[in-house]
Amino acid sequence: MAASENHYAIETVSLTKIFPDWWGRAKVIAVEDLDLKIKHNEIYGFLGPNGSGKTTTLKMILNLLHPSKGATFVMGGIISDPKISARVGYLPEESYLYKYLTARETLDFYGRIFGLPGNIRRSRIETLLEMVGLSGMGNRQIGTFSKGMARRIGLAQALINDPDLLILDEPTSGMDPMGTRQMKDLFVELVKRGKTILLCSHLLADVEDVCDRIGILYGGRMQVEGTVKELLQQKNETQIRTGKLSVQALEKIKSIATSECDKVDVESPMDKLESFFVKIVAQARQEKQRTSGAETGTGISGFLAEKPVVRRDNVLDQLVTAKVQPEPPKESVVETTQAEKSKPAADDQLLRQLSQKSAELSPIQTPATDDVSEPGPKEKPDVKKNVLDELIGKKDTGKTEVTRPDDMEDTADA
Amino acid sequence: MRSVWAVARNTLAQAVRMKIAIVVFLLLIILLPLMSVVMGGDGTLLGKLQTFSSYGLGLIGFLLSILTIAISCFTLSNDLKRKHIYLVLTKPVQRFQLILGKLLGIFILNVTLLAIFGSVLYGCILFIPRLSDAPADQKIQVKYEFFTSRIGIKSELDIEALNQKAIEQFNTLKKNNQLPEGMSVTRILGELRSQEIMKAKSVSPGRIKQWDFENVNVKDPQDPNSAIFVRYKYETSAPTPDDQVYGMWRVGDIRQYEAGTGLLTTPIYSVERQEATKTMHEFPIPANAVSSDRYLAVAFFNNPAVNRTTIIPENVEILYKTGTFTGNYIRATLTILIQLIFLSVLGVALSTWLSFPVAILACLLVFFAGLTNGFITDSISGLGSGIGIIYSLTIKPLLWLIPQFDGAYNPNGYIIDGRTLRWTFLLTTAGITLFVKGLLAMLIGMFIFSRREIAKAVV
């Protein structure tokens, strides 16, 4: 990574795509003079209404379309170079998977294309199937999968080469809210592990939750670009979140607030529908109701904490298990949009504990720890962690979160 | 190359799971044994074997060709149409590797199916004589004329000399002012020429005609089991009773008669046969008839005592064994394989820029053109010879590009007549069909594919 530090993960130079009509006359200008610069280790949200040129841009980056003008560079090279494309994962806007292959064969096929040796390929396939919640359906043909399930396999194939750069086009389309949530958690997790993600979507909630920077495209031109915080923060309002307060305390706060400004609203916060839905499904699962569909399964925790094989060949997986460490109960957390650097610090501590072991395996991991501790836009990881904790807590009734990492280390040592 | 192998496996899986290969497999596995029972030919054991092996090989070649065309046109164009290719080409696979992978997959499928059905057909062919209750002489005939691999030598007419004769005769007629009126010079010459040829071929009653063969390389002439076959067909100037001809043949080193020493170092065999006109016939003689300088003469006597018409023995040829039936059969299946490889290359190359229906149509056209190559080439060159240089610069090279699956390139003929399909011929065919025509198609396909945009313009 040090070598590519000078470069952007993706860089386009005055990228232009003009679709000509039958006679060769310019018909549609899909993308015009686009200068996209995506840094390493960030999630970049690429937004825009239908037909704004998002997918066309992605296809040019991936060499599926040829630019009319300009150039694209990926990881400091061109994507048609196998060395570069070996480091890229791509999930297109629909799952263009071979319907006649089973889920397992699909992943095997893409694994082989990347030239992964057999044992690594097999262990990754199992891990990924488990991660996307389809481990029970590995031998079913893709043709029998629902759109969301195929989408999960699509995501798994994008991750099979452990890519440094992920290009995702509408990753959550067709996914149920549980899957959406898990996917978003995964993205944040991957970025913590040093990956870069280009997320192309028009589902604004998804983008807002996870992205570091966003760019909005319209008519093939970049309209606005910046960090989510920069673009969305309302500097002239303040929000205070606390646990349940007594009426007296509320009154006191109100009076303090009214002394500084006229507009004060006090109300109990609403659950987001997404969080609510996740909670209900998690309850149902705890009651062991049966489903023929995709399971939320072990999610990320399964991928990272329960597969020693993967952990051995990628120590980052160990680091990420820090995620399932218990956090302070969320009721006691006072969150404001401004001040909340405490959680990353807590994570950092755990990560360091873990990385003492992992450092022996591979020194490359050290920068990754730094990545996590970097004070970046960290609101989203926290939001996610709450939900993740809920999920884990309710799912694995036999274990508590605290014991899980220990279990994992035992197996790893053994 | 791992990625090429991955694509090849996927293509195989596609062919099998899409059931197209299964259908062809079932069709052949049912039809071949069924045909071996049902087919009778002309009632003789040899006829049955010839009919069955010809139809069997033809069916295998045809069905596998259709399968190859369908899969090769489908696999890449379907990837493009259904956008599977987005997920493949964005990974470390070069575009030419994708094409190579597809071709490798189809090749493996073809080799497998051809090996299976080649073996099934071979088994059936070997079993037919064993299960047959044909008389012993027919079984022996089959052994020498079918389960063998023979090389034939033809005695060509000296056309140049005959032309010369025709011209001389023309000049004589001209000198004597006997040229027919109202006929062009070319036509008169043509008539004279065909008269000469007919004269050279035909044997009127009471006359003898002799054919000389040199370089008859029979392996071991003194081996009592080694035989030479004389092959011919009778034409007659007028219909004979029962369409039968009574022929008297002498085979051997006839020069010994002329030497007049009265000493025969090699035997001269005399054969008398009563046979139907207008069909090919063969009779064997022991191989020791060949002289030490590998010369053999065949003479035909039109016995006026039994025949009243002029007899024209056509296509007189001698055949002798050079190899085994099995070796010949393997080369015949390899010929089919060459055809299949060419078609797969053509199909994939076409589908790099054509959609499935167009590609398969074009591919089928080329396939059928290849099956009737001789006919097409002859008829078009007949028409085109009038325009001389334009023809030889435009249509002729295009015609040359059409693959050849008929005539000498069709393996059936070799198997039916028990004729040797030479390795040199096989390799030359492979070289021209695959390494010139096929490679050209593949390179064009790869070039187009490496340049084209994979995604469609969607805005």
Listing DSSP states for B314-329 in one string gives: EEEEEEEEEE-HHHHH
> How close A28 comes to chain B (CA, Å)?
8
* B358-374 mean pLDDT: 92
> How close A221 comes to chain B (CA, Å)?
14
Instruction: Give residues with Cβ within 8 angstroms of A101, minimum separation 6.
Output: A109, A141, A142, B10, B13, B17
Chain A residues whose beta carbon lies within 8 Å of the beta carbon of residue B18:
100
Assess B86–A contact: CB distance below 8 Å, yes or no: yes
pLDDT given at position B166: 86
From B271, B300, B275, select the one nearest B286 (Cα to Cα): B271
Please tell me the distance from the alpha carbon of residue B296 to that of residue B92, in angstroms, as a whole number. 66
Residues B436, A5 contacting (CB under 8 angstroms): no
Residues A381, A188 contacting (CB under 8 angstroms): yes
Q: Could you say which residues from 209 to 268 on chain A have a Cβ atom under 8 Å away from some Cβ of chain B? A: none
B159 band by pLDDT with thresholds 50, 70 and 90? confident
Chain mean pLDDT for chain A? 73
Pick the more confident residue, A5 or A237: A237
Residue of B nearest to A29 (CA): B459
Chain B residues whose beta carbon lies within 8 Å of the beta carbon of residue A82:
92-94
pLDDT given at position A353: 47
Quick check: B426 pLDDT over 80?
Answer: yes
pLDDT given at position A290: 64
Q: Are strands A43-47 and A69-74 parallel, antiparallel or unpaired?
A: unpaired
Assess B450–A contact: CB distance below 8 Å, yes or no: no
Q: Do A64 and B86 touch (CB under 8 A)?
A: yes
Q: Do A82 and B455 touch (CB under 8 A)?
A: no
Please tell me the distance from the alpha carbon of residue A281 to that of residue A294, in angstroms, as a whole number. 12
Quick check: B396 pLDDT over 90?
Answer: no
Residue of A nearest to B83 (CA): A96
Chain mean pLDDT for chain B? 89
> How close B388 comes to chain A (CA, Å)?
38
B259 burial via Cβ count (<10 Å: 0-12, 13-18, 19+):
exposed
Pick the more confident residue, A14 or A339: A14
Please tell me the distance from the alpha carbon of residue B318 to that of residue B289, in angstroms, as a whole number. 12
A296 band by pLDDT with thresholds 50, 70 and 90? low
Please tell me the distance from the alpha carbon of residue B256 to that of residue B274, in angstroms, as a whole number. 27
Please tell me the distance from the alpha carbon of residue B50 to that of residue B54, in angstroms, as a whole number. 6
Output phi, psi for A81, to 5 deg. -75, 120
Please tell me the distance from the alpha carbon of residue B352 to that of residue B454, in angstroms, as a whole number. 10
Please tell me the distance from the alpha carbon of residue A214 to that of residue B105, in angstroms, as a whole number. 44
How many angstroms separate the most distant Cα atoms in chain B? 98
Tell me how far CA of residue A365 lies from CA of A306, A361, A404, in angstroms: 20, 9, 22
With H, G, I as helix, E, B as strand and everything else as coil, classify residue B300. strand
Please tell me the distance from the alpha carbon of residue A343 to that of residue A350, in angstroms, as a whole number. 11
Quick check: A397 pLDDT over 50?
Answer: no
Least confident residue range of A169-173, A369-373, B71-75, B414-418: A369-373
Q: Where are the beta strands (DSSP E) in A114-212?
A: 165-169, 196-201
Quick check: A316 pLDDT over 70?
Answer: no
DSSP B386: G
Quick check: A378 pLDDT over 60?
Answer: no
Percent of chain A residues topping a pLDDT of 90:
28
Please tell me the distance from the alpha carbon of residue B139 to that of residue B120, in angstroms, as a whole number. 21
From B248, B228, B233, select the one nearest B296 (Cα to Cα): B228
pLDDT given at position B260: 76
Chain B residues whose beta carbon lies within 8 Å of the beta carbon of residue A98:
10, 13-14, 84
pLDDT given at position A375: 41
Q: How far is CA B54 from the centre of its chain?
A: 11
Residues A15, A74 contacting (CB under 8 angstroms): no
Q: Which helix (H) or strand (E) holds B33?
A: helix B20-38
Q: State the number of CA atoms in the 13 A half-sphere of A68 facing the CB.
A: 18
Q: How far is CA A34 from the centre of its chain?
A: 25
Instruction: Give residues with Cβ within 8 angstroms of A217, minimum separation 6.
Output: A34, A46, A47, A48, A52, A53, A54, A57, A223
Of A51, A96, A112, the CB nearest to B2: A112
Q: Which helix (H) or strand (E) holds B170?
A: helix B159-175
Residue of A nearest to B457 (CA): A19
Please tell me the distance from the alpha carbon of residue A156 to that of residue B110, in angstroms, as a whole number. 33
* A66-73 mean pLDDT: 92
Instruction: Give residues with Cβ within 8 angstroms of B153, minimum separation 6.
Output: B213, B215, B216, B317, B318, B319
Q: Are strands A43-47 and A196-201 parallel, antiparallel or unpaired?
A: parallel
Assess A409–B contact: CB distance below 8 Å, yes or no: no
pLDDT tens-place string over residues A223-237: 888 888 888 777 777
pLDDT given at position A42: 92
How many angstroms separate the most distant Cα atoms in chain A? 76
Please tell me the distance from the alpha carbon of residue A358 to that of residue A354, in angstroms, as a whole number. 7
Question: What's at B407, amino acid-wise?
Answer: G
- Residue identified by tokens 């263009």 is A96
